[in-house]
Structure 1
Amino acid sequence: MSKIIVYDHANFEGVSREFTSSVSDLVNENLNDCISSLKVIGDPWVAYSDSNFSGSQFVYEEGEYATVEWNDSFSSLEVVTEDLMNPQITLYEDDNYRGRSIVLTTETNLAFGSFHDMASSHKVQRGAWVLYEDSERGGAQMVARASRDVPVYDWFNDKVSHVRPLKPGKFIIKSEILWDMKEEHVKSVMIDSICGLNYGEHEQSFSTELFREYTGSITDTFNFSSSTQVTWGTSFSVDVGFIKAQQNFSFSNTFNVQRGGSNTRSEKKSIRISLPTKIAPHTKLTVNVLRKEVDVKVPVKLTIKTGSHIIVEFGEYRCESGNSIITEYKEEKI
């Protein structure tokens, strides 16, 4: 849920109130023209200088604002409810969506192109945008939102110099591993071999005990779908404790996912190998040290919530473990 917390003094001091829905008139909340700092959690909010969402506009994305523009001048607050994941806006040179046009999907400084101070109307296909009078996000602002097309700019006509889409709040991601669709491949790889030979006619006794240390590794990776809405660097956890309970392998209980990275860890595995005390006549005894390598792949359902919007998509968790060390004994006549 998106919310805004407002304070009547700077630096988050004084009287405070928390809102989760738009407020058309702060007079009714005893907070008119007194807000001096605020915090936003989730999707952006628009603060207006006048009641009923009119007058000058100021946009606040998720974060903390120890001071605000137009201190003590806000009379209404509106939460942005549009889906902000895939924005698009069309600017038109003339009123009523006529003349030359330009389609934008990312932040653009129009001062570097041929549409600087040219826009007179717009249509927002997706998301919500801020239009600025000056380049580098300067000057007066106008918020442009989907389903709220503006055919005539009036005072803002031929003044748009910079345009940017509003960003959604931080993602809240819930992961669910679909174990019924798990794929697992297991193979054994020999990493060492120890031999005992008895060429004699009689059974021989041995008291040899070997202590060896081997290093295995565990690699956790998570692959997102090609069309994922998860932004680069976003982190969340995947509970993979089930796989540890199902198999006698050293998997992580929880895998922390960060888009663009993987989690690899190496562990040393100590194993004590004892040769049998008796080797039969004319017998070669071989002790093979094996690493059991397990490759598990399983789909993961991601429920991604940002503000009031929920998206469901799928990724793949993969764990490659080579940390299980076992021994195998073989006897051959010689």
Structure 2
Amino acid sequence: LTDKQKKRIFRKNILQQKATVFSSCFCALQITVYDQEYFQGRRMEFTACCQNIMECGMENIRSLKVECGAWVGYEHSSFCGQQFVLEKGDYPRFEAYSGSNSYRIERMISFRPICCAVGLIDSRMTIYEMENMMGRQFELCDDYPSLQAMGWMNNEVGSIHIQSGAFVCYQFPGYRGHQYIMECDCHGGEFKCYREFGSHAQTPQIQSIRRIQH
């Protein structure tokens, strides 16, 4: 094969991969929510985002099952407040998805799929010491229960660049505390200061990070 033919094949493969991820985002998504714990009470199935479960006749989501895809739940309507990453599996009570949150909030009103995590294996991100992608930096492509243990000499992260995939960052080591969902297709993958980590972010404290997979 000539170089030109090789490049054409390479571009075709990349386009096919992107098409697969895009189509799976719309075809391989399903979440079932319940208004009582342990999958009791009223139930509803969704294959797309929900901005306000109250508009669907539920006061709150107290248990759920993720059948396909990865999702993020929010404390308030319109995707605001505390965030909760929801990967495939059963969540019979709030504690199952809260990530050992130090701030007990038994409330989930809105949720949406994490499209860039669906079918994507190669997740990559860079964390920076200061805002606007300045200062010391470190590239991550794996799960890190403690950033300090891997050599990050700080309990804060000033800014983040997600090159591919999606990650969930936690306030404390061991995947505990506030959760911040970071996606390559939000903000162009650039989170230039902690205020862009989420509407609930009050400090730049991040001490553990892991990838989000479907």
Superposition TM-score, scaled by structure 2 size:
0.73
Please give the per-residue CA displacement for 1:214-239, whole angstroms capped at 9, x wherever unaligned: xxxxxxxxxxxxxxxxxxxxxxxxxx
Does 2:187 correspond to 1:150?
A: no
Corresponding residue to 1:136 among 163, 174, 192: 174
Identity of aligned residues (%): 28
Contact 1:119–1:157 (CA under 8 A) maintained in structure 2: no
The separation in 2 between residues aligned to 1:47 and 1:21, in whole angstroms, is: 12
Q: 1:71 to 1:41 in 2, by over 3 A?
A: farther
Residue 98 of structure 1 aligns to which amino acid in structure 2?
M
List gaps (5 residues or longer) in structure 2: 1-27, 99-103, 196-200
Number of the residue aligned with 2:108: 74
Number of the residue aligned with 1:121: 159
Residue 73 of structure 1 aligns to which amino acid in structure 2?
R
Corresponding residue to 2:82 among 56, 66, 84: 56
Residue 57 of structure 2 aligns to which amino acid in structure 1?
N
Does 2:120 correspond to 1:95?
A: no
Q: After superposition, where does 1:319-334 map in structure 2 within 5 Å?
A: none
Aligned-pair Cα RMSD in Å? 1.6
The separation in 1 between residues aligned to 2:106 and 2:204, in whole angstroms, is: 30
How many residue pairs are counted as aligned between the two chains?
Answer: 167
The separation in 2 between residues aligned to 1:76 and 1:35, in whole angstroms, is: 9
The separation in 2 between residues aligned to 1:71 and 1:139, in whole angstroms, is: 12
The separation in 2 between residues aligned to 1:120 and 1:47, in whole angstroms, is: 24
CA positional deviation for 1:123: 1.1
Give the helix-richer structure, 1 or 2: 2
Q: 1:25 to 1:94 in 2, by over 3 A?
A: same
Secondary structure at the aligned position of 1:27 is classed as helix
Residue 62 of structure 2 aligns to which amino acid in structure 1?
S
Secondary structure at the aligned position of 1:110 is classed as coil
Give the strand-richer structure, 1 or 2: 1
Residue 111 of structure 1 aligns to which amino acid in structure 2?
Q
Contact 1:45–1:77 (CA under 8 A) maintained in structure 2: yes
Does 2:31 correspond to 1:4?
A: yes
Greater gyration radius: 1
List gaps (5 residues or longer) in structure 1: 169-334
Does 2:64 correspond to 1:38?
A: yes
Number of the residue aligned with 2:17: none
Secondary structure at the aligned position of 1:114 is classed as coil
Number of the residue aligned with 1:244: none
Residue 194 of structure 2 aligns to which amino acid in structure 1?
Y
CA positional deviation for 1:113: 3.2
Number of the residue aligned with 1:228: none
Number of the residue aligned with 1:161: 207
The separation in 1 between residues aligned to 2:86 and 2:48, in whole angstroms, is: 15
Superposition TM-score, scaled by structure 1 size:
0.48
CA positional deviation for 1:26: 1.7
Number of the residue aligned with 2:54: 27
Contact 2:116–2:185 (CA under 8 A) maintained in structure 1: no
